[in-house]
Structure 1
Amino acid sequence: MSSETILKGRVLGFTRCPFEGDPADTARLDEAVLIRDGHVVRTGAAAELRSASPEAQVEDMGEAVITAGFVDAHAHYPQTAMIASWGKRLIDWLNAYTFPEEMRFADPAYASEIAGRYLDLTLSNGTTTVASYCTIHPESVEAFFTAAQSRGLRAAAGKTCMNRNAPDALCDTTQSAYDDSQALLETWHGVDRLSYIVTPRFSPTSTPDQLSAMGALWAEHPDCLMQTHLSEQPDEVDWVKSLFPEARDYLDTYEAHGLLGARGLYGHAIYLEPRERDRLREVGAALVHCPTSNTFIGSGLFNMALAKAEGQRVGLATDTGGGSSFSMLRTMAAAYEIGQLTGTALHPAQLYWLATAGSAGAMHMDDKIGNIAPGMEADLIALDLASTPAIAQRAASAEDIWEAIFPTIMMGDDRAIKAVWTGGRRALG
């Protein structure tokens, strides 16, 4: 027997990308959405949906705005416990905080504890899909997928591979990286709502042979995503030049080893050369903007206006725990602030699209998640636009839906997440 639910509220779905044309005219508002067997059937007037499906359970969210759940296109769940660690630049920060914490994930019990904690924290902030790095330990991948599966989440992750410039306890080998990744991929990829991501951490921590092995694995499984880091800080770019003197640029250290493609997710991508920008656009790869991380670690300012103007595919991400928040609302606020510093005030519709449909598109999942439309999976949130007195008084004077949502983007937190549904099932609220 099918299961039907009607959610009443202000149902917001995008009709086109708000980076094309007037961003204010890119979404539609409906009174309700009908969900059947975990998918959106249709949106429309509440009375019409009730008449068409009289047996459906009705959940009334009042004045809340019902949208797609947030999609976080780049995170490190093993860094949950060390988020907001003080005062280091990227390379020192890895050595002082990240690597010592990641060593603990050889313990399956600890990996399981943190995986559950991380997914509960992200769900409480309205994030229903995430692309996460794990550690070099297969146990860390097993823990993440097990926790995501038990919560009915669409999620993607992969074993981080690195065989140099890291502590011995966090180094694998070219062969073990390939073998472990392949075994995990064959076990988890496509199971329920889970996807495996081929995951070389970044060029400085992999030898050319290991990068080539990861490129070969990706070529053997072209439906998988691949994630890595690219041009996050100037000193990192210089380090890559010293390690790969034959490379034309940072991107070439991936391209030469089969790690450039349309299903690639390249985190940060702040300091790109013209050739790199051209190649990323040509292949349709995704740049993933991590604004709270870029400000917290002092990396630099991603130019969103330039990236979208030149036709880049762009996603948005927390980059937990370099990023200083589990919240995609806070991430949108930081993206707005960086936009101001780079000369472009991003419209609320553009920010919200980046956190939903844009990130889903970066992950090649925009046919499943990231929007409310017939046939999409019902990963939804109800957003309270009066979650605090300060937000409520500003939203009350708004003249349109985007002006009403913007104070929650800038000042909202987990209190704004009134309810969450994953695969049509009430997960929170």
Structure 2
Amino acid sequence: MDLSYTPEERAFRDEVRAFLRDRLPKRLSDKVRLGRHLSKDDYLEWHARLREKGWLAPNWPKAHGGAELSAVQRHILDEEVTAAHAPRVVPFGLNMLGPVLMKFGSSEQQAHYLPRILNDDDWWCQGYSEPGAGSDLASVRTTAVREGDEYVVNGQKTWTTLGQHADWIFCLVRTDPQAEKPQQGISFLLIDMNTPGIEVRPIVLIDGSTEVNEVFFSDVRVPVENLVGEENKGWTYAKYLLTHERTGIAGVGFASAGLANLKRIAATEMSGGRPLSENPFFAARMAQVEIDLMAMATTNLRVVAQAEAGQAPGPESSMLKIKGTQIRQEINFLTRRAVGPYAMPFASELLEEGTNHEPIGPEYAAAAAPQYLNNRKLSIYGGSNEIQRGIITKTLLNL
């Protein structure tokens, strides 16, 4: 997507493209392009190559080992790596916990955890949602009761993405059940997943994958020094983290790559003896989603630039979350429509490495159905779009 880059920014884009040509393994890009499930080793392999280049933490300051790229450079990097079908960077440690520790963590926590996050010594997952506290996150019921120098944690988290691979989990826990408001009395706790009393159970999704999990805590003992910031102030830290998560959920790079793939498919598939891209109704919907994507990309740059200047994203991150998920779901819908009947039969085994199943239809058809099905969740996770509209209204009207 051309946003009239400066000569320096175009040079950076060329550097990114050269890096991807030289360092992105074809095996990994093929798995991403075809929608196959990635293993933990796949993610770690790609993380290592980005870390070697210095781009694994593009938004981190150099003082903590990051690249400290500008907002535009990060946009370019995101757009190019997704266009090249590189694996995503697992965000929980790098893009969620890292910024929270830099702003609210103690110097000891920063010195210990940040290098380990950057080096992939610790694989983190997010312990926010619960069976009765999803978008209504302030209703968390997992408790942490202090006993001497430890908290004793009991409760359950759900929809824990990649929790089956995690070494650590950052959790919202209730430390004051008598607080007047539900947002009060919540703390932000770092928990070692190898602690006795933790059980992880996979949840099978509609596309056949098991990337999310339930996590149960039964009398799990956590050192008090694993508390981030102050006790009962976790809601402040949680909101700070979520603004960064929701900006990322906009998924400009993923949408750009998805749109490029859609255009290729529409130019290949035929309708009435002509390419589908020449069908006026289909072409109009593709044009509209491209216009929406260009507008969102510009807004995303503004928000990221504000964050770079030290301002935590406000209602703008909710706007980006809503629009970004709508755009990506529209692209998934149009791609499935473009593939036609080949998107109907779907066997999750086709997405596993080493499968003996023959793909049905053209190569690009294999991922159409699972991506459409899996990405229905985009408008729900990270705070449902309905909740985001409420946040926007309350913030802008000062309610």
User: Which TM-score applies when normalising by structure 1?
Assistant: 0.25
Q: Which of the two has greater strand per residue?
A: 1
Q: Which of the two has greater helix per residue?
A: 2
Higher relative contact order (CA 8 A, sep 6+): 1
